[in-house]
Amino acid sequence: MQRLRIGLIGWGTMGAAFGELVQDGPLPISLAAIAVRDPARARAIPMPDGVDVVRPDEALDVDVVVELAGGVEGPLTWARATLERGTPYVTANKALLATHGGELAGLARTNGAALLASASVGGGTPMIEMTTHLAATGRIERLRGAVNATTTYILSAMGEGRSYDEALAAAQAAGYAEADPSLDVDGRDAAQKLAILASVAWGRWRPEADVSTTGIVGLEVQPGETVRLVADATPDRLRVAPIPVDPEDPLARVTGVENLLEITMRDGSIFRVSGPGAGGPACVTAVYADVARLVAGERPILFRSAS
């Protein structure tokens, strides 16, 4: 079988972990190029020998583009250029998808390209896949979950009597928080993830702007109280907010890096999926699984309808 040539954009913790997996994992794929915004700058994480290091716009002439760089402006340009060539685009970039996912899904469809982003929600946990599976019948009634590890960590620690600042510092030290942790504590990381899940669940792309979002800054949690940043959606209402949860609620048992998604169907049946929602090694598992689908000849597009 011919090896798929990967153009990898981004060489941070995730990019490097994915690069290692490409070299050591079982799929017939190889790194054709590593792209970074400034190829001349030395990297904290050593790069493999023998792979070209280029600018992102020079890494698109490959079989698959994998973007793990973050940000919106650059990735939007690279995603458009990739999909217009009919080349698959795999990313973990939730901000990109929650702002321009409809347009990108449309471009993918028009050009026969694939668009995949398993790692954008739930880290390594296949939340998009379970939602896609259950959406096939058109009978999802509600999505509800804890999809941001940083706020789960902070709210758990505050329930154990620690201050907000202490808890945030610990979550950052644990490596859960975004580079800009305001995205976590303002609820935007969870809102972007919920917008992506809702788009998959109900077949129409929904932007982050459709989510009513309340973060956890300034929130008081009494010792012994269990509060979670709950992402909750029906077709008519998308909401992220800190909510006190009953100790028997599965969301109350979510701690640390774990994410949990609960999907309720119209017939009342409930499905749950949980697992590590943050951290490089978990997330690159999902990116690698997306690439495995391309190796198998699939050409999936994350969102069924662009609008």
Measured from the CB atom, is 140 or 177 closer to ligand HSE? 177
**CB crowding 78-94: b at 16 or more within 10 Å, else e:** bbebbbeeebbbbbbbb
Q: Is residue 301 a contact residue for ligand HSE (CB under 6 A)? A: no
Give the other-Cβ count within 10 Å of 38's Cβ: 8
213 binds ligand HSE, rule: CB under 6 A: no
193 is annotated as an active-site residue: yes
- Assess 278 for contact with ligand HSE (CB under 6 A): yes
Strands (E) across 36-126 are located at 52-54, 64-67, 89-91, 115-116
Nearer to ligand HSE, 102 or 123 (CB): 123
> Under the phi-then-psi rule, with left for phi > 0, alpha for psi from -120 to 50, and beta for the rest, what region is 219?
beta
Q: Which of 56, 106, 123, 280 binds ligand HSE (CB under 6 A)?
A: 123
32 vs 288 by CB, closer to ligand HSE: 288
From the list 277, 284, 291, 306, which residue makes contact with ligand HSE (rule: CB under 6 A)?
Answer: 277
**CA nearest neighbour of 262 among 273, 254, 252:** 273
Contacting ligand HSE within 144-163 (CB under 6 A): 148-150
d(CA 25, CA 28): 9
Nearest CA to 190 out of 145, 131, 133 is that of 145
Q: What is the Cβ-side half-sphere exposure of residue 165, based on CA atoms within 13 angstroms?
A: 0
69 makes contact with ligand HSE (CB under 6 A): no
Q: 94, 144, 188, 193: which one is catalytic?
A: 193
Look at residue 18 and give its three-state secondary structure: helix
Q: How many residues contact ligand HSE, by CB under 6 A?
A: 11
Q: Looking at 40-48, 137-145, 174-182, 234-242, which segment touches ligand HSE (CB under 6 A)?
A: 174-182
Residues 93 and 76: their CA atoms lie apart, in Å, by 10
C-alpha 205/C-alpha 197 separation (Å) is: 9
The yes or no reply on residue 89 touching ligand HSE (CB under 6 A) is: no
Q: How far is the CB of 303 from ligand HSE (least distance, A)?
A: 19
Q: Which of the stretches 101-109, 177-185, 217-225, 263-271 binds ligand HSE when contact is defined by CB under 6 A?
A: 177-185
3-state secondary structure of 259: strand
- Residues at the contact surface with ligand HSE, assessed by CB under 6 A: 123, 148-150, 176-178, 184, 189, 277-278
The residues annotated with a catalytic role in the active site are: 193
